[in-house]
Amino acid sequence: MLRNDEFRLYFAVQLLIAVLALGAAALWIGWTAFGLVLVVIVLTYLNFYRFTRWRYRQLESLSHYLRQIASGDYTLNIRDNREGELSILKNEIFKVTMRLSEQSEYLLSDKERMSEAISDISHQLKTPLTSMGVMMDLLKKPDLPLEKQQQFLRYLQQQLERMEWLITSLLKLSKLEAGTVLFHPEQVKLSTLVQQAIAPIEIPIEVKEIHLLMQGNEETTLQVDQKWTIEAILNVIKNAVEHTPQGGMITISMSQNTLYTELKVTDSGAGIDREDLPHLFKRFYRGKSASDASVGIGLAMSYHILQAQNGVIEVENSTEQGQGAVFTMKWYNK
């Protein structure tokens, strides 16, 4: 305590006051008053010393606690339910500690997610790069027939396009997960979004002779970012096309109520394995029935796009005979 300049100054001033009080008592009242004042002063000093020492121990305990926090230990609990400034300080420090602990856990989980993402990306890019390396070695052969050269070049072109799509999709997904995408909502017809989403996959639909059935009110509108919402719907319908057999059917139904706008995509495939249902919207997750070309990005992207626009996406197997999976997208009214 004596190392504290404020305490030494306070002690000196109090000592001066005590000497003056004792001198005045001895000179003007008498030695009996002198003795009484001396006893009161000694008891006051002892009580003050005891109280100050206790407060210094509390502050020393808080300092030790803060040093532990600085070293990354957030396990101590110093909450104090008593009244007083020191108790308030303890509770405020505890609140800050809990926030730091939560932030530390979030950063750790974020670091783990980033490590997993890098590992997944490396794995996804390794396969086409290895195949392209083999093709390049084959193309170097001087006696390779022209027909084989053209075949290998087409394959290289396909792999390059696949890698470009993969990298572009990963960048989009990373932005969505980081919350850095700026959405520009506008009032648009849901049927218009569905039609624009179907346009890029009309050829696969025609090749597989899939019958598309549109149901519901085509005048249904909602307030969303048109570009990103088309991307979300496209990924869901594309997934339905991949799992619908030759000559099958995909039903797209639209509805709206006072709470939300809903879009359902139902295919006539074999459905989704029960074990896959809880994990279908995770990045790079591939279910048991996933095609060889699938990398598990599209549905994860749809999930984040809807989540960022006050929406949800759910999946279940249809209860109707001969039906497959049912993807339900909902945009809640704000």
Higher pLDDT, 89 or 139: 139
Q: Report pLDDT digits (tens) over 203-220.
A: 889 989 999 999 998 889
Give the whole-angstrom CA distance, residue 35 versus residue 42: 11
pLDDT value of residue 180:
77
Predicted confidence at residue 212, as pLDDT, reads 92
What pLDDT score does 193 carry? 94
Mean pLDDT of 183-202: 92
Instruction: Report pLDDT digits (tens) over 255-269.
Output: 999 999 999 999 988
Mean of all residue pLDDT scores within the chain: 79
HEC letters along 114-147: HHHHHHHHHHHHHHHHHHHHHHHHHHCCCCCCHH
Whether 305 shows a pLDDT value over 70: the answer reads: yes
Determine the length of the chain.
Answer: 334
The domain made up of 118-178 has a fold known as Helix Hairpins (1.10.287)
Answer yes or no: are the C-beta atoms of 248 and 266 closer than 8 Å: no
**Enclosing H/E stretch for 214:** strand 211-216
At 249, is the pLDDT very low, low, confident or very high (cuts 50, 70, 90)? very high
Domain ranges for the chain, please list them.
5-101, 118-178, 185-332
- Give residue 293's pLDDT: 58
Check residue 1 and give its pLDDT: 53
In the predicted structure, residue 32 carries a pLDDT above the cut 90 = no
Query: Which range has the top average pLDDT, 19-23, 271-275, 281-285, 311-315?
Result: 311-315
C-alpha distances out from residue 86 to 46, 47, 80, 240, Å: 21, 19, 9, 63
Any bridge partners for residue 331, and if so which? 261, 311
Percentage of the chain modeled with pLDDT above 90: 26
pTM, rounded to two decimals: 0.60
Above 80 in pLDDT, residue 288? no
pLDDT at 237: 94
Looking at per-residue pLDDT, the higher value among 119 and 210 belongs to 210
Nearest to 225 by CA among 308, 132, 106: 308
Asked if 118 and 174 count as a contact pair (C-beta separation under 8 A), the reply is: no
- Residue at token pair 């072109």: 157
Q: What is the rounded CA–CA span in Å between residue 327 and residue 252? A: 10
- The Cβ of residue 131 has, within 10 Å, a number of other Cβ atoms equal to 15
**Residue 125, token pair as written in the block:** 């890019």
Q: Can you identify the CATH homologous superfamily of domain 185-332?
A: Histidine kinase-like ATPase, C-terminal domain (3.30.565.10)
Q: How confident is the model at residue 194 (pLDDT cuts 50, 70, 90)?
A: very high
Burial of residue 306 (CB within 10 Å: 0-12, 13-18, 19+) is buried
pLDDT of 330: 95
Contact 301, 232 (CB under 8 A): yes
Residue partners of 224: CB distance under 8 A and separation at least 6: 183, 185, 186, 188, 193, 309, 331
Contact 244, 324 (CB under 8 A): yes
Among 102-116, 158-172, 213-227, the range scoring the smallest mean pLDDT is 102-116
Same fold, 118-178 and 185-332: no
